[in-house]
Amino acid sequence: MKKQSVTERLTDPSKYTGSHKERFDANGKGRGLAGREDLCINDGNTSSKSRNHAIENSVEPRPKNKPVVHKVNNYGTTAKKVTFFEYANKNHAGEMVVLTKQKFPTMKQVNDFTTAMIPTGKSKLIFDKDMKQIKEIDEFIAGEKYLILTPYDKQHLVDEKIPIHFKENK
């Protein structure tokens, strides 16, 4: 006996019993919602041999000439989780931030968020582990650590003021 592929086994209507056997037509094609629920056309007329109101298949066939297009979003399908560390707070454990497209659509929203970090109200710069300034939202890497400091602190950077947890490897 030849082994059937997974798709052939799962779409073989003879293998299904009870209400599940209604999910596929005689050719093994899925019937969609019509295979799971009793669907009918409610046009106000009664059913007869000439008027059958039952919907046998609710799956709309895909147009043959139209290709399937998947929209690719450059922002990424998964939100980036990063950790921000405040400069001059040696024991700062870091603040986990999830950079979602809804909450942080542009770098301006990220900068507004970091302005609330200590010292509050001052504009901040964001640096990665190599002390490269992050200027675009696409430059963030999921799971990485970033140091938040003011332009003044950048000019007067002291290694002892960098948080211990920022310096640690993952």
| More confident site: 103 or 24 | 103
Note the Cα 162 to chain centre separation in Å.
Answer: 33
Q: Tokens representing 22?
A: 């209604």
Q: What is the CATH number of domain 80-167?
A: 3.10.20.230
Using DSSP, state whether 151 is helix, strand or coil.
helix
CA 107, CA 99: separation in Å to the nearest integer?
10
The whole-number pLDDT of residue 76 equals: 47
- Bridge partner residues of 84 (DSSP): 95, 146
What is residue 78's predicted lDDT score, i.e. its pLDDT? 67
Q: What pTM was estimated for this model as a whole?
A: 0.54
Q: Are 125 and 132 in contact (CB under 8 A)?
A: no
pLDDT at 133: 94
For residue 90, what pLDDT is reported? 84
130-163, pLDDT tens digit by residue? 999 999 988 999 899 999 989 998 898 888 888 8
Question: Rounded distance, CA 83 to CA 142, Å?
Answer: 9
How do the domains of the chain map onto residue ranges?
1-65, 80-167
Question: What pLDDT is recorded for position 134?
Answer: 93
Check residue 125 and give its pLDDT. 93
pLDDT band of residue 70 (cuts 50, 70, 90) is: very low
pLDDT tens digits for 46-67?
767 676 667 666 666 655 655 5
pLDDT tens sequence across 84-138: 999 888 888 889 999 888 888 889 999 898 888 878 888 899 999 999 999 998 8
